[in-house]
């Protein structure tokens, strides 16, 4: 308690704490707290007052981290040792209440009311409850590094009668309390919390590690995108494990109740560098649920083959990761190079998927969250293939991943015999070349339609903030990708005869022509649509019939078929 209160009353890690002072607390704390700015000595005395009940009654408050214990058991640590290492003294309860920077500042009196209401909601200090209160204090010391007005609450987990405060599930309960207070005190209501679609924030320690290593993003953000790409591209659990290992991620299974039986979860970590090993730095492990709500193993299994053979193969791959041995299959589909011509196939798959998405009601949150997650996986796979550092594709994957966050009980059933984004993710992840073609532009157009549908679903469901985030991503990030693709298109007339080593299929002809027309800046969007529609009507028609079409004044010919190009008079 002393360490916490002294820190809250001190200068902070970056001298960001200004005028630390008490705004509220348990009645005995408010009575003893000094007026004005807290000194170091004041903080020590205040901590003693907060800790009185624990000291007098000798109450011990210990909490065991099941996640830490199970991870240690999975690493071969004896259960008794793992239990002891995962158990810690947690008699101090600490949280902060922070406003969005755009909300401005509140008065000390307003913060005092909010703090008292919050501690009542959390059952630390409720005059209407038969339980004895616990001592607590709310300290205000300026804005966060992001600019938000906030307070810190330090509380004892021991009540005035020596009993323990129930802090079980306190993270979720605190969020529910915040939702109540936002409405009660006319503050901005966090819509993502109300819809249970919040995402995990970046912890200061994670951000600091990224800064020290000079990385453009945290390891968790990078791994989340890699795991999502691999999961979306995989048809089986075994293939997923092999893909992760091929991407140089450390992988370990989590077995049911710490045994070596059924795998119920997994964790990933980045491979330590030689410098890390020399300095004794150990890998930082993240479970699938810590990466993203929709990347837990049960959620991922919804999308994969769960036949007996598939489960047996997965068990073998998990066992190989546990023992640190090589993968059991060396010729899986994840090793096959993909012909660039199949990019058009990926675009076609996304087009068919868009047709399916049009049938989903806007009220089916689970299915739209699944759609966002799968689309995010395609962008993540594309990013892994062409972006050496996180770029617009990675940003698109991140925004759509936010739309995929829903509670576990809202899991969406996977429709049978319905094309999803898995094939597109596979193609983009394993292309034998990254040389762009017109098919890339067509794929981007189809993905843009998917993104538009997701944004429309958010808007129809009343989630305007998330709808706008997806729309902004489309306007900024996808436009950037489109501009980059256009820059890499071969120079020459926009619609010209192209020497090709083979005869293109009808679908490839339509895709190439559409991309060429879209790149033109000398004609209107309306004319572009007319050109593409009429060209589509001519694809596959026998040569003998083309002359009749070309001779018609209502037909716009196409140079791909060696017919005259329309004059400006015709275009007008």
Residue 143 DSSP symbol: B
User: For the segment 367-376, what is each residue's pLDDT rounded down to a tens digit?
Assistant: 999 999 999 9
The whole-number pLDDT of residue 274 equals 87
Q: What is the Cα–Cα distance from 275 to 314, expressed in whole angstroms?
A: 33
More confident residue, 57 or 566: 57
Q: What is the Cα–Cα distance from 513 to 522, expressed in whole angstroms?
A: 16
Give the Cβ contact number of residue 183 at 10 Å.
Answer: 11
Q: What is the Cα–Cα distance from 15 to 175, expressed in whole angstroms?
A: 29
More confident residue, 68 or 514: 68
SS3 117: helix
Across the chain, mean pLDDT equals 84
User: For the segment 297-317, what is each residue's pLDDT rounded down to a tens digit?
Assistant: 999 999 999 999 999 999 999
Residue pair 98/148 in contact by the 8 Å Cβ criterion: yes
DSSP E strand boundaries for 65-116: 87-89, 92-98
> What's the start-to-end Cα distance of the chain, in Å?
78
Angle (CA) 72-74-79 rounded to 5° is 60
Q: Write the CA distances from 239 to 232, 305, 322, 483, integer angstroms.
A: 11, 11, 16, 34
Bridge partner residues of 136 (DSSP): 155
The whole-number pLDDT of residue 556 equals 34
pLDDT at 549 over 50: no
Determine which helix (DSSP H) or strand (DSSP E) holds 123, and give its type and residue range. Answer: none
For 459, the token pair is 């808007």
pLDDT at 19 over 70: yes
* Range 212-227 burial, b when 16+ CB lie within 10 A, else e: eeeeebbbbbbbbbbb
Give the whole-number percent of the chain exceeding pLDDT 70. Answer: 82
Short-list 208, 372, 211, 228, CA closest to 286: 228
Q: Which residue has the tokens 């009668």?
A: 161
**What is the bridge-based pairing of β-strands 150-159 and 263-270?**
unpaired
* Range 522-554 burial, b when 16+ CB lie within 10 A, else e: eeeeebeeebbebbeebbeeeeeebeebbeeee
More confident residue, 430 or 449: 449
Residue pair 30/23 in contact by the 8 Å Cβ criterion: no
Q: CA neighbours within 13 Å on the CB side: how many for 188?
A: 14
Band the pLDDT of 212: cuts 50, 70, 90: confident
pLDDT at 496 over 60: no
Q: Which residues contact 162 (CB under 8 A, 6 or more apart)?
A: 53, 56, 57, 59
pLDDT at 487 over 50: yes
Mean pLDDT of 305-330: 93
SS3 292: coil
Q: Which residues contact 532 (CB under 8 A, 6 or more apart)?
A: 510, 513, 514, 517
Band the pLDDT of 509: cuts 50, 70, 90: low
The whole-number pLDDT of residue 506 equals 61
Band the pLDDT of 495: cuts 50, 70, 90: very low
Bridge partner residues of 250 (DSSP): 269
Residue 496: exposed, middle, or buried by beta-carbon count in 10 A (0-12, 13-18, 19+)?
exposed
Q: Which residue has the tokens 């589509």?
A: 536
């Amino acid at each position: 308690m002393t360490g916490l209160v002294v820190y809250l009353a001190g200068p902070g890690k970056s001298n960001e704490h200004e005028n630390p002072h008490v705004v509220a607390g348990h009645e005995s704390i408010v009575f003893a707290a000094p007026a004005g700015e807290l000194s170091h000595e004041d903080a020590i005395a205040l901590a003693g007052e907060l800790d009185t009940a624990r000291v007098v009654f000798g109450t011990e408050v210990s909490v065991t981290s099941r996640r830490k214990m199970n991870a240690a058991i999975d690493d071969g640590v004896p259960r008794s040792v793992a239990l002891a290492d995962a158990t810690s003294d947690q008699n101090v309860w600490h949280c902060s209440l922070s406003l969005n920077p755009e909300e401005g500042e509140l008065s000390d009196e307003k913060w005092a009311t909010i703090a008292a209401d919050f501690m009542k909601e959390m059952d630390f200090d409720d005059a209407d409850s038969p339980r004895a209160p616990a001592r607590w204090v709310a300290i205000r010391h300026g804005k966060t590094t992001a600019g938000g007005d906030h307070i810190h609450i330090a509380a004892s987990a021991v009540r005035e009668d020596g009993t323990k405060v129930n802090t079980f599930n306190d993270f979720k309960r605190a969020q529910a309390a915040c939702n109540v207070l936002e409405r009660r005190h006319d503050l901005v209501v966090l819509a993502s919390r109300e819809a249970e679609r919040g995402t995990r924030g970046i912890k200061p320690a994670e951000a600091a590690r990224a800064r020290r290593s000079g990385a453009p993003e945290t390891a968790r953000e990078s791994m989340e995108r890699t795991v999502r790409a691999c999961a979306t591209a995989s048809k089986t659990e075994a293939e997923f494990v092999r893909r992760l290992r091929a991407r140089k991620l450390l992988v370990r299974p989590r077995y049911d109740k710490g045994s070596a039986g059924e795998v119920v979860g997994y964790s990933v970590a980045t491979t330590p560098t030689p410098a890390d090993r020399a300095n004794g730095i150990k890998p930082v492990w993240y479970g699938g649920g810590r990466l993203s709500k929709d990347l837990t193993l049960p959620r991922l299994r919804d999308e994969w083959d769960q036949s007996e053979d598939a489960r047996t193969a997965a068990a073998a791959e998990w066992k190989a990761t546990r023992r640190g041995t090589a993968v059991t299959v060396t010729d899986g589909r994840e090793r096959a190079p993909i012909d660039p011509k199949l990019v058009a196939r990926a675009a076609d798959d996304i087009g068919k998927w868009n047709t399916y998405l049009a049938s989903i009601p806007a009220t089916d949150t689970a299915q739209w969250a699944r759609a966002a997650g799968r689309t995010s996986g395609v962008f993540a796979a594309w990013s892994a293939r062409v972006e050496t550092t996180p770029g617009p594709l990675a940003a698109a994957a991140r925004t759509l991943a936010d739309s995929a966050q829903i509670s576990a009980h809202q899991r969406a059933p996977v429709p049978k015999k319905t094309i999803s984004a898995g094939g597109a993710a596979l193609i983009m992840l394993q292309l034998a070349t990254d040389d762009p073609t017109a098919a890339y532009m067509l794929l981007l157009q189809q993905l843009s339609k998917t993104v538009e549908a997701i944004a429309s679903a958010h808007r129809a469901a009343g989630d305007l903030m998330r709808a706008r985030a997806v729309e902004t991503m489309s306007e900024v990030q996808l436009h950037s990708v489109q501009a980059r693709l256009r820059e890499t298109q071969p120079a020459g007339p926009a619609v010209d005869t192209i020497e090709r080593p083979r005869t293109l299929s009808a679908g490839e002809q339509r895709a190439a022509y559409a991309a060429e027309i879209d790149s033109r800046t000398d004609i209107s969007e309306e004319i572009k649509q007319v050109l593409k529609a009429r060209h589509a009507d001519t694809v596959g028609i026998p040569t003998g019939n083309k002359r009749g079409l070309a001779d018609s004044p209502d037909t716009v010919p196409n140079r791909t078929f060696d017919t005259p190009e329309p004059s400006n008079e015709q275009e007008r």
